[in-house]
Amino acid sequence: MDAPRLAISIGDPAGIGCEIALKALKRPEIAKLCRPVLVGHAGLIERCDTLFGLNLALNVVHTPQAIGKPDDAIDVLHVPGLDLARFAFGTVTAENGRALLSYAERAIRLAEAGIVDGVVAAPQNQSAVKAAGIAFDGYPSFLARTTGVAEDDIFLMVTSEKFRITHVTLHVPLRTALEQVRRPRVLKAIKATDTALKRMGVAKPRIGVAGLNPHAGEGGLFGREEIDEIAPAVAEARGLGIDAEGPFGADVMLAQGGRDAYVVMIHDQGHIPVKLEPGSGGFSIGSPVLFATVAHGSAHDIAGKGVADPANMINAIRWSVGAA
């Protein structure tokens, strides 16, 4: 079978996105895992390829229909709108803000059309988007708006070498998180995780679900959320044919391992174990598009210097196609 095709949006033009994307695609093991389509300003991509001495074979195309020919080169879908005569690395401009969103949108549209199997987005820069006067609070909500999905239906799955962890609640106060841990939302998170894993090549996903309270509530001794909300959601998911188990105490569940992914209730249950490992990434799941990010910033301070580490980009590509 052909390797999956991935659209790789180069992110903020003035950041390290183009550099880490090209460096990742230079790696022989990545070339074997996927058929990449770089999405961004072709002139900038070609400039970076020369500047960083990568000498990749690039095939610039201007329409989605031209993607895939020839097979021995990396397709570059050109997205206009960047004035290279005025461009400089490490700068925050409205033009760069508009550009990074246009690259991401084009990549998402390729996935919606079935031309690619998933999207990997290089780092965005919120200051640049703000300079452009565009409302933006990160890729997940942008993905939701672009695909027409309710923002509450998009979940973050953080990833590392050891874990894939989906969060039922994320960047909200703990008091708010307690209110959001309800059966329908927990079920949505489990279903989104199951679907995402299948897109990533896991044929029969096994999902562990954490409780909210210490020891998963200890049979109601430490709270009833597990009894009233989480366990019924797990039971409903199993009724839909999803191999989900829980709720378990998050600490014990993650320490035991043995599952393809885990659903946790609050931010720190998932972020702490993943961020203890190097090279983490993130997936925005719950939309029709598998959308991965590198989980770090645009690094304007080192942009254009050729010293950016592509490890997170490499991992995001690997994990998008289910490679261990």
- Domain 157-275, CATH: 3.40.718.10
Kindly report the CATH number that applies to the domain delimited by 5-151+287-320. Answer: 3.40.718.10
* pTM: predicted TM-score of the whole model, two decimal places: 0.88
- Judged against a pLDDT cut of 60, whether residue 324 lies above it is answered with no
> What confidence category does residue 1 fall into, taking pLDDT thresholds of 50, 70 and 90?
low
Mean pLDDT of the chain: 94
What residue spans in the chain does CATH classification 3.40.718.10 cover? 5-151+287-320, 157-275
pLDDT tens across 205-245, in order? Answer: 999 999 999 999 999 999 999 999 999 999 999 999 999 99
DSSP one-letter code for 226:
I
pLDDT tens for residues 270-320? Answer: 999 998 988 788 999 999 999 999 978 999 999 999 999 999 999 999 999
- Residue 268's alpha-carbon distances to 59, 107, 170, in angstroms, are 43, 31, 9
Which parts of the chain fold into alpha helices (H)?
A: 17-26, 28-33, 42-51, 94-112, 126-131, 139-147, 174-180, 183-199, 225, 231-239, 250-256, 267-275, 311-320
What is the pLDDT at residue 279? 78
Q: Tell me how far the alpha carbon of residue 79 is from its chain's centroid.
A: 21
Provide the token pair at 85.
């005569």
